[in-house]
Structure 1
Amino acid sequence: MSISEILELIEIADECLSVATGKTLTIHQKEILKQVIDGRKLKEVRLEGYSDLTVQRLFCPELWKLLSEATGQKVSIRTVPLVLKNLKNLMQPPIDRTKQRNRVSDSIGALEPYENSLSPNSVALSTSSTSTRHNLPAHTCSTFVGREQEIAQLLELLSPQHRARLISVDGIGGVGKTSLVVEVAYRCLCAAHSADDWFQKAPTFDVIVFTSAKQHFLTSFSLLQRISRPQRTLKDIIQQIARVLGDINTTGKSIEDQIELVKDALARFQTLLIIDNLETIENPQDVLSFLYCDLPPTVKAIITTRKQGIFLPLHLSVLTKTDALQLIYHETQEKKITLTETNLYKLYERTGGIPIAIHYAVGQIAGGYSADYVLEQLTQANGDLARFCFEHSVALIQGQLAHQLLMSLSLFTQPISREMWIELSLPEDFSNVSSIENSSGNVVERALVQLQELSLIVLDSNLYSLLPLTREYAIAELKNYPVFEQNIRERWLNWCLKLAQTHKREHGWDWKTQDDVLEAEWGNIQPIIEWCMHEGRYNELYTLWKSFEAHIYLRGDRKDRSKCWNEHFEWMDWLIQTAQQRDLAVAAEVMSSRGWLLTALGQPEYFQEADRLYVEAWSLRHHQSLEFQLNLAVNIMALRVHQAQFETVQPWFEQAMQLLERHPLSETERLLQLSRIHYYQGRVQFHAGAYESAEFHFKTALDCAQAINWQRVIWRSRNWLADIAIQQGKWTVATHLLMQGLQIAESERGTYQTAFYQRSLANLAMAQGDRAAAQHWAIEAINCFRRLDMPSEARELNSLLQTLQIGTG
């Protein structure tokens, strides 16, 4: 199902819930629906920041209950797509948010702003007037997409029942603060002149005054200078209020007298005052003082600002993924352009859910630029978009510690802790973080507050990060300070080397469970390795590769293998090419490791490349130890088994046994290599149908692996022993081995292990004549193999399904 179809069904669910219960879907509920409609099973539904148990046992059942009440049908994870599709078919015409916007337009069509219908000398408004005076700017878009929760929250704050008089809407530049406030103001305007239930939740006002200190406007073709005079001072704001009220003459009067006149006039009307772009107002303290001290209780005031914590705050973050994709889809439809699914998602990732960036990008594409060009230009720090969103904010901290912290944080693509960030960011004479934070004035604390006030950083669960566009801008800033950049990058690299040393496995083969610390930091590790390649840091890159080799292999047990390992192949290629000029022993070592990963990918085109690497590594074996040569010989055995070249395994078996006898290994290393040798011999015998011989080799491999607690060979040997039991008709033995192994694999979230156990369970059920169970386990295994990008194994099981005449759909 395409993203547009998924978003349409989510919109239908949201509308249905709103009509039936007055509630709307939360961000998390929309994300759950998106994943479920897209085909995920319950155990695959994920929400960032929440445990799987919370999502599966709390959030999902609550959502199904809400939708069941709203639709009058039994909704579950299995039925929700069908229920929503049926609702879509029954709706004539389908839900159209644009019509809601049209209702707004129809309602306000006769309401002209004061400039068109009033003069400064107009008769004073009476409290019984049926029209609302306002000077709201025109909508910049035909349909307001998303932000329903924020709109509801702001409408509640504006209601007479809420005691809040001063409200601030804050957020990073371009996040849609002004658009949100104008949308809410129009809903309030329409509430006074429409009987439509859609507007009845909005409060009404006699007067709505809009002032803006904004100096520039970003369009898809350029950054435009505002021609009309912006309201950048308190005096400008007072005069704008006077003009909208229409009966106040401020000519020749002092600012104090003007305030008194406006204050008296406002006391007679329920007024909504909007002050847009506080950060570009001159002497903002004067304006804040006026709002705090001089506004009568009949006035509700909203300011928009990039600084947080001014009044009662409504913080505007970036759009959720669902809303951002919906906005992109809406914009492309409106501008009559088509984007591929890939480019839709790329656009979301590059913009990070910032609405103005989405409008800008789609507008550029509609103007004739290619999608690839626009996506590339979005990250240019000297472009109009970056200048509009960040230039003013960054100028406020230029040359300060906050500026350094911002630039250093740009090196990290994943959130990091406060302690790590500060330790890496501060100059050498500030190396003692504790003393700095406790020093006079607490300079670090003030710097962090500055960055948060300006919405330049994201704080979530005590971890700090940057939005994608902010990060690109900060990286460009960093390049303007080469000495600071060099220092900070050295500390960045040292942090990674320290992390590698801390989490290095004692034994490179000891691949039991994935290191969660390394996985959490992996997004921050990758750019460091790429930087090492770019800067020619051979020794450091070799150290990092050696330390992370086991973790990289294990990542392929849980995710798309080719995707996980492709980046790793680039690092290994660089190491091989560089080592061939520096150290042939390292070149052979990396060739062997690369060949092993290519073998594990299990596809013919990769086998050919692995073969070439092994031949070259074998030619360099004399530069390495006998232990390395033994390991390489067993690797080649493994490749021949994967290639189904069983007749060529024996020479390498004999070579491995000779090396094993010649080289005095530690007991651990001897058992390690023996377990591998017998494991692959077992596979050769199994293929030949010599099940008793295969059983001997797998049991020997299992005994050796258990002696050193090598979990990977333990579970694989048991899996093959179960397959032998299936061939021998020993159902009870096979069932026990497989169910025990599956339970362990699932508890360790090992998708690779799980897939093979499920495949064997499908074969067991097939042998027993249980077609339903065979179908179940085959489909489960296929899904795992597809997630791991293992098409050969998936095709094998599809053949089994076809044999059962079920098919996979």
Structure 2
Amino acid sequence: MSREQFGKLLTQGLKSIAALEKTDLSELQYELGREIGISIWTLYKWRKNTSIPSDDRTLAILARACVQRGHMGRQWLSDFLSCTIYSNKSGLLNELYPEGEAIVVTHNLPRRQHKKLIGRESELHDIQMFLSPRHRVGVVCISGGGGVGKSALALEVAHGCHETTASLQPDERFESIIWVTAKNVELLPAGQMERQPTFTDLDSVYRAIADLLDIPAIFRTATQAEKNIIVMRLLAEKRVLLILDNLEDVDDPSLFVFLRDLPAPSKAVVTSRHRIDVAVPIFLHTLDEETAHELVHMETERHNLHISEAEVRLLLQKTGGLPLAIIRTIGRMVWRGSNMETEIAQLNDPKNEIYDFCFSKTITLIQLSDAYKLFSALAVFNSKISRAALGFVAGFEDDDLRRDEGLSDLEVLSLCYKDGDYYRLEPLTHTQALTELHAHPAFERETRERWVKWYLIFTSMYGGRDESEMHLRYDYLEEDWNNILNVIRWCIDESRYEDTVMLWQNIRDFTHIYGFWSDRVSLLGWIIEEAKNRNEWQTAVQAMYDKAFTLTLTGPSSRIEEADLLLQDCWRRREVISPIVEARVAALMASLYIKYHKHEEAHQWLATGESLLCDSHLEPLELARERTSLLYDKGENWFVLGDYGNAHKVFEEMLQQGQISGWQRSIAHAQNWLAYVAILQGDLTMGEQYLRMGWSVAERIKEQRVQAYYKRTFAYYYDKLGSKSEALKWAEDACDSFERLGMPPDMNAMRELILHLKAS
């Protein structure tokens, strides 16, 4: 008799009950202790191998609970009893697992269409829990968009119930499993194929029950009421599992009454693109990237087809993880002998049969309704969008009730996904929404105008100049950046210059601080050329300065040369700009010459910038703000020359000017430089003080570049301190940040430090 083995097996059984019934283990132990007549502490001691109960009654209660409620198998029970002195082990084993008993489950299940169901483990577990006789739920509805795998999951549930019958307790077994489908068309690689549905109304469900259970009396009755009585009595006497596939294709209100009144112990699982109110919902989303990748691997292996990793990524991006689209695309490649490029082009074609199969019937239900307008308007958004924004763009700015009713309809019909107060479309659904939008040119024009107007208001509200605590507003821009970028690019494609410039001015500082540098350079390139063509030189010069500023940060040499040309052009046209912008250009020229190692010229440009600021008649706070940029470059020039003493003085002045202006970004930069200089001078105490003060600010304001510089400084600090592992962690983090921002020189410096740290 092994106490250790007994405790281990008992713990397994109790944890299985707790998991299946979703209850706390302590509450379960309290419940069992009360039934047995012992304390929870005694049960705990049994689990921890202190002792083993010796009376038959206690052991039988524990064994029956673990088998019947925890679904522990025959082998577990045999091992469990062998650890005890139970008087009739074989008797209890045969009671809970009768030997030689032939268990026959009548069914009409079609065979599985897949080798393995991928990515639905959580939903499968939930449905199995709902099908337990101990759960009050009678009907489960698997809902979701077309092609998401509803029928496959229902079939897996049904086969699972059939295959595990022998291991289940008598009250948990289904005596019959009945499958009916209303599906009248199948989408195969060759195209849509008509098929014969096996149910179209309640009577056809009754017919399937009568045929499988061999009870013709159901159809010998004179009235529908008598049929209802016979079937309900039968389902109350037997434990029957009904699977009703593609319920959205059935229009029979009496069927929903039947499902609502379904008697225990029978259960029903229905699949439908539309959510129903008589069932507990199991909503299927498309597969996540990892799971969709697994499905691609399984399908290519099944067809003995090889596709590259780049092609897999392309397929997943276009299908959005929709199982039907993945399986059909791979099937078409095998059937047609085509390549991935051809099949992706097919998926981009709105006339592809997959769109008709997945959407045509559902779209027909909402045609010309508020839901249809909302669905079409969703097409202009690239990623999830708020309820307020969608309502405004769709034309429901002053009618929240109609907007919310329409969105509810879209949810019920599985045409959009809701995430809190945000809505989104999957890639193929987005293509369909675009098709619907293009089909109504007048509505599309109005929608696009409202779309641009919304983002002009939105970016004005949450964007603008970088000032104190701006990250609290900029966070809203970051969350919606894909949509903002999409509307700007549309304005560019439509040559809407004024709208593009206004949007840009609202997001100018945000794109720098939050590290959207690639997008920033791309947008500025168009604004520069368009402003030049319109002879709007103030806008052009400001945009050239902004682009040059970003290019000087990102390198390599070709970008530095481009920045040089842009700044020279700015300087030649300085008569059209204010002294403030002129001073900024001078400071950036100094930064450029520092990179060229022409330090005397850098000093001259900095002196020019100081002179321009002195003549600008700025208010003290504004002057202090502008001077911090000049002082940054002046301090960096001394630092590169190795004159840490002068660098320290300049950065101290920069810190003071930042504090006067209240510009937190300049304060954080100054404190990082002061920390860096102190560390290189060997003053680790002072370096740490500046680091700790500045890092909290850098984290809070979310300035990506200054955070990267702080990580670099932390790496050098811990290296000097002798903590190599901590230094390596910060250096790797800094390297990742520089790489993400596109700053090769700084990234390479960190790689050298990483090599040094690993070697030491």
Q: Partners in 1 of 2:757 and 2:311 — Cα distance?
A: 39
Match of 2:276 in 1: 309
Q: d(CA) in 2 for partners of 1:511 and 1:419?
A: 23
Q: Does 1:233 align with 2:201?
A: yes
> Is the 1:755–1:781 contact (alpha carbons within 8 Å) kept by the matching residues of 2?
yes
The 8 Å contact of residues 380 and 473 in structure 1, kept in 2 or not, is answered as no
Hey, what's the Cα distance between the residues in 1 that align with 2:264 and 2:570? 82
Within 2, Cα distance between the matches of 1:213 and 1:645? 79
How far the C-alpha of 1:545 sits from its partner, in A, is 0.3
Match of 1:271 in 2: 240
1:66-81 to 2 correspondences below 5 Å: none
Aligned match of 2:210 in 242, 255, 269? 242
Partner of 1:299: 266
Rounded to whole Å, the distance in 2 between the matches of 1:336 and 1:683 is 60
- 8 Å contact 1:165–1:299 — kept in the other structure? yes
Q: 1:621 aligns with which of 574, 578, 589?
A: 574
What SS does structure 2 have at the residue aligned with 1:396? helix
**8 A Cα contact 1:510 1:710, kept in partner:** no
Letter in 2 for 1:565: W
| Residues 502 and 770 of structure 1, relative CA distance in 2, 3 Å threshold | closer
How far apart, in 2, do the equivalents of 1:142 and 1:201 lie? 29
1:331 equivalent in alignment to 2:299: yes
TM-aligned CA deviation for residue 593 of structure 1: 0.8
Q: Which residue of 1 aligns with 2:325?
A: 357
Q: CA deviation at 1:464?
A: 2.5
Q: Does 1:392 align with 2:355?
A: no
Q: Please, which moves more after superposition, 482-491 or 315-324?
A: 315-324
Separation in 2, partners of 1:286, 1:403 = 28
Greater CA drift, 233-242 or 165-174: 233-242
Residue of 171, 176, 180 corresponding to 1:211: 180
Q: 1:737 aligns with which of 683, 690, 698?
A: 690
Q: Secondary structure at the match of 2:368?
A: coil
Q: In structure 2, which of residues 576, 579, 602 is the aligned counterpart of residue 649 of structure 1? A: 602
Letter of the aligned partner of 1:505 in structure 2?
G
Distance 1:328 1:609 in 2: 44
Aligned partners of 1:587, 1:653: CA distance in 2, in Å? 23
Give the whole-Å Cα distance in 2 for the aligned partners of 1:201 and 1:635: 81
How many corresponding residue pairs?
666
1:549 paired with 2:502, answer no
What TM-score do the two structures reach when normalised by structure 1?
Answer: 0.75
The CA distance in 2 between the partners of 1:537 and 1:306, in whole Å, is 40
Q: Which residue of 1 aligns with 2:676?
A: 723
Pick aligned residue for 1:491 from 433, 450, 463: 450
Larger mean Cα displacement after TM superposition, 626-635 or 508-517:
508-517
Residue 433 (str. 1) matches residue 435 (str. 2): no
Question: Quick one: distance in 1 between partners of 2:606 and 2:461?
Answer: 36
| Structure 2 CA distance for aligned equivalents of residues 550 and 522 of structure 1 | 14
- Does the 8 Å CA contact 2:554/2:744 hold for their aligned counterparts? no
Give 1:510 shift. 9.3
Would the aligned equivalents of 1:212 and 1:277 in 2 still touch at CA under 8 Å?
A: yes
Give me the whole-angstrom Cα distance separating, in 2, the residues matched to 1:767 and 1:444: 61
TM-score by length of 2: 0.80
After the TM superposition, which of the residue ranges 486-495 and 215-224 deviates more from structure 2?
215-224
Match of 1:571 among 509, 514, 523: 523
Give how far 1:693 is off: 2.2
**What corresponds to 1:517 in structure 2?**
476
Q: Deviations over 1:186-235 (max 9, x none)?
A: 0111123x55xxx8899432222211111111223422222x34422333
In structure 2, do the counterparts of structure 1 residues 509 and 163 end up closer, same or farther at CA, with 3 Å as the change threshold? closer
Is the partner of 2:553 in helix, strand or coil?
A: helix
Q: Which residue of 1 aligns with 2:23?
A: none
Identity of aligned residues (%): 28
Deviates more, 1:413-422 or 1:247-256: 247-256
Output the amino acid matched with 1:703.
Answer: Q
Q: How does 1:702-717 map to 2 (within 5 A)?
A: 702-717=655-670
Q: CA–CA distance in 1 between the matches of 2:244 and 2:541?
A: 67
CA contact under 8 A between 1:512 and 1:710: conserved in structure 2? no
Matched residue SS, 1:208: strand
Helix, strand or coil at the partner of 2:406:
helix
Gaps of 5+ in 1: 1-16, 27-127, 438-442, 557-563
Give the Cα separation in 2 of the matches to 1:615 and 1:322: 50
Moved more, 766-775 or 624-633: 766-775
**Distance (Å, rounded) in 2 between the aligned partners of 1:264 and 1:207:** 15
The residue type paired with residue 412 of structure 1 is F
Q: 1:339: how far off? A: 4.2
Shift of residue 507, structure 1, vs aligned partner:
6.0
1:410-447 superposed Cα distances (whole Å, 9 cap, x missing partner): 322343333333233236xxx5325xx3xxxxx44543
Distance in 2 separating the partners of 1:362 and 1:274: 29
The aligned counterpart of 1:98 is none
CA-CA distance at 1:473 after TM superposition: 1.2
For residue 331 of structure 2, what is the amino acid of its counterpart? G
Could you tell me whether the CA contact under 8 Å between 1:508 and 1:550 is conserved in 2?
A: no
2:392 and 2:454 in contact (8 A); partners too: no
Pairwise CA RMSD: 3.3
CA offset digits 1:761-805 (Å, max 9, x no partner)? 333444455545544443343343344343432321332343345
In 1, Cα distance between equivalents of 2:726 and 2:426: 47
Match of 2:384 among 415, 423, 427: 415
What SS does the corresponding residue of 2:141 show, helix, strand or coil?
A: strand
Judge which range, 722-731 or 256-265, deviates more: 256-265
Q: Are 2:236 and 2:265, in contact at CA under 8 Å, matched by a contact in 1?
A: yes
- Return closer, same or farther for 1:596/1:23 CA change in 2, 3 Å cut-off: farther
**Residues of 2 paired with 1:656 and 1:136: CA distance?**
82
- Find the aligned partners of 2:588 and 2:665 in 1 and give their Cα distance: 16
Query: 1:379, CA displacement in angstroms?
Result: 4.4
* 1:13-52 paired onto structure 2 within 5 Å: 22=16
**Partners of 2:340 and 2:718 in 1: CA distance:** 50
Deviation, structure 1 residue 376: 4.6
Q: Report what 2:489 is aligned to.
A: 530
CA contact 1:279–1:306 (8 Å) conserved in 2: yes
CA distance change for structure 1 residues 360 and 19 in 2, over 3 Å: closer, same or farther?
A: farther
Does structure 1 residue 155 correspond to structure 2 residue 155?
no
CA positional deviation for 1:508: 8.0
SS in 1 for 2:567: helix
Distance across 1 between alignment mates of 2:359 and 2:320:
14
Any stretches of 5+ residues in structure 2 without a counterpart? 1-10, 21-100
Cα separation, 1, equivalents of 2:629 and 2:428:
49
Q: Distance in 2 between matches of 1:667 and 1:510?
A: 21
Q: CA offset at residue 408 of structure 1?
A: 1.6
Structure 2 residue matching 1:304: 3-state secondary structure: strand
Distance in 2 between the 1:336 and 1:644 partners? Answer: 59
